[in-house]
Amino acid sequence: MNYSEIMNIMKSLRKQHNMTQEQLAQLLYLDKSTINKWEKGVRNPNIDYIHKMCNIFDVSFNEILNKLYK
């Protein structure tokens, strides 16, 4: 799984929702630095957090996968 590309999509969705890294971190009960590391590709989220972000941004995981393989 290409976490870097998934996080690029999630970052784009976060910005489309006018959400800061801190706001997303609060919704996920994480520290802002964790979101920052994910978006920079320093660390990768586990699949549970990807699904939680999909719920927050109201997109299905399949939609994310479709964007990856266009």
Q: What is the pLDDT of residue 60?
A: 95
The radius of gyration computed from the CA coordinates of the chain, to the nearest angstrom, equals 11
**Residue 65 corresponds to which tokens in the numbers above?**
């996968």
pLDDT tens for each residue of 5-58: 999 999 999 999 999 999 999 999 999 999 999 999 999 999 999 999 999 999
Domain annotation for the chain: domains and CATH numbers: 3-68 (1.10.260.40)
pLDDT beyond 90 at 65: no
Q: What is the pLDDT of residue 14?
A: 97
Three-point CA angle 38, 7, 46, nearest 5°: 60
